[in-house]
C-alpha cells in the first residue's frame, strides 16, 4: 500500500532530475566549445632608419680597378678582411654578416654584374695576425677590392700604437702592390671600444694613414657615433649585449652604406673615364 502511494510522486521527481542533469550536461558541453581568450597582439618596435651624412660615407678616391671592371661588365671580386666584426660575431646567422649583406646590396645596385664578396674575417685578430694570412687568404684570391677592417683589437689590448701603425703600413704596401683597390674600415663605436683611452688616437691614425697612402677609408666609427649622438639610438639598437659586437641591424646598415659608397666611387671612375674618351 505504501509503495503504491509513493510511486506517483516519485516518477515526476525522477523525471525532473533527469531533465536537470541533461541541462547541466548541455551547458557544460557548450562551455567546452567556448574559445579560450586570445592574448592581444603586440607590435614590435619599428627598426631604426639606416642613414648617415654623406660626408661620413663618401670614399675619398675613386675605385679605379673596381670601376673599370664594372664598366666592362667583367666579374668583380671583393675580399672583406678583418676580425670578428667582419666574420660576423653575434649575427643571428652567417648570412647576416656585413660581407654577405654587402654582396646582396651590390647585386641590387648592379643587376646582372657578377660580384663576389669573400669573407676573410677571423675572430680576435689584429694586424700582426692578419699579416700572417694576407698572402694565402686574401691576395691569393686576386681581388679587385680589399676591405680591411682593422684597429679594434689593438685598442682593446692596449697594443703599442707605433707597432700597429707599422704593421698596417706593411699590409697596405702588399695590398697595393697586388693592384687591388683598398678601403680601410676603422673601429666600431661601441661601449667597450669608446671606454679605451687610445680609441680616438686609432681612429685618427687610420684617417691619416688612408690619406698619406692614397687608399680609401670607410668611417664606421663616425657613422655609428652619429647613430648614438645625433639620431639618439640607444646602444642596444645597434650593439649586441656584450657591449662590443654589432647586431643584425647594424651589420645590415653598414653594408648598405658601404655598398652605396662603393657604387658611387666605382661609377665615379667609370664616368671620368667615359668623359675622357669623348
Residue 120 reports pLDDT greater than 50? yes
> Which residue(s) pair with 239 in the sheet?
246
Percentage of the chain beyond pLDDT 70 is: 80
Residue 159 has a pLDDT of 97
CB burial of residue 39 (10 Å; 0-12, 13-18, 19+): exposed
Residue 152 has a pLDDT of 98
Start-to-end CA distance of the chain, whole Å, equals 130
Residues 21-70 have pLDDT tens digits of: 444 444 444 444 444 444 454 455 678 999 999 999 999 999 999 999 99
Residue 63 has a pLDDT of 98
Domain spanning 54-277: CATH 3.40.50.1110: yes
Residues 150-192 have pLDDT tens digits of: 999 999 999 999 999 999 999 999 999 999 999 999 999 999 9
Residue 208 has a pLDDT of 98
Residue 45 has a pLDDT of 65
Residue 110, helix vs strand vs coil: coil
Residues 7-21 have pLDDT tens digits of: 443 334 434 444 444
Residue 193 reports pLDDT greater than 90? yes
pTM over the 0.85 mark: no
Distance CA 45, CA 249 (A): 13
Percentage of the chain beyond pLDDT 90 is: 79
> Which residue(s) pair with 183 in the sheet?
147, 216
Which residues does 121 contact at the CB level (< 8 Å), separation at least 6? Answer: 80, 81, 82, 83, 84, 85, 86, 87, 88, 97, 99, 149
Residue 90 reports pLDDT greater than 90? yes
Distance CA 26, CA 19 (A): 11
Stronger pLDDT, 45 or 139, i.e. the higher one: 139
Mean pLDDT score of the chain, rounded to an integer?
Answer: 87
Q: Residue 124's Cα: distance from chain center in Å?
A: 18
Amino acid at each position: 500500500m505504501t509503495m503504491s502511494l509513493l510511486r506517483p510522486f516519485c516518477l515526476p521527481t525522477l523525471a525532473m532530475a533527469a531533465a536537470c542533469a541533461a541541462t547541466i550536461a548541455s551547458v557544460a558541453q557548450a562551455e567546452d566549445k567556448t574559445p579560450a581568450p586570445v592574448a592581444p597582439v603586440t607590435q614590435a618596435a619599428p627598426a631604426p632608419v639606416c642613414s648617415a651624412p654623406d660626408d661620413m660615407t663618401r670614399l675619398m678616391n675613386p675605385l679605379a680597378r673596381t670601376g673599370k671592371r664594372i664598366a666592362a661588365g667583367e666579374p668583380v671580386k671583393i675580399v672583406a678582411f678583418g676580425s670578428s666584426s667582419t666574420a660576423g660575431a653575434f649575427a643571428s646567422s652567417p648570412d647576416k654578416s656585413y660581407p654577405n649583406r654587402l654582396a646582396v646590396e651590390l647585386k641590387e645596385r648592379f643587376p646582372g654584374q657578377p660580384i663576389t664578396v669573400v669573407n676573410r674575417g677571423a675572430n680576435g685578430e689584429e694586424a700582426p695576425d692578419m699579416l700572417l694570412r694576407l698572402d694565402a687568404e686574401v691576395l691569393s684570391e686576386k681581388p679587385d677590392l680589399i676591405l680591411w677592417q682593422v684597429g679594434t683589437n689593438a685598442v682593446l689590448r692596449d697594443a703599442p700604437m707605433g707597432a700597429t701603425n707599422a704593421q698596417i703600413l706593411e699590409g697596405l704596401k702588399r695590398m697595393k702592390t697586388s693592384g687591388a683597390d683598398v678601403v680601410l674600415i676603422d673601429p666600431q663605436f661601441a661601449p667597450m671600444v669608446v671606454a679605451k683611452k687610445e680609441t680616438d688616437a686609432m681612429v685618427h691614425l687610420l684617417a691619416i694613414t688612408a690619406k698619406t697612402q692614397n687608399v680609401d677609408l670607410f668611417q664606421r666609427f663616425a657613422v655609428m657615433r652619429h647613430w648614438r649622438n645625433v639620431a639618439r639610438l640607444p646602444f642596444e639598437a645597434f650593439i649586441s649585449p656584450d657591449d662590443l659586437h654589432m647586431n643584425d641591424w647594424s651589420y645590415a646598415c653598414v653594408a648598405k652604406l658601404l655598398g652605396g659608397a662603393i657604387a658611387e666611387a666605382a661609377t665615379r671612375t667609370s664616368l671620368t673615364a667615359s668623359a675622357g674618351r669623348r
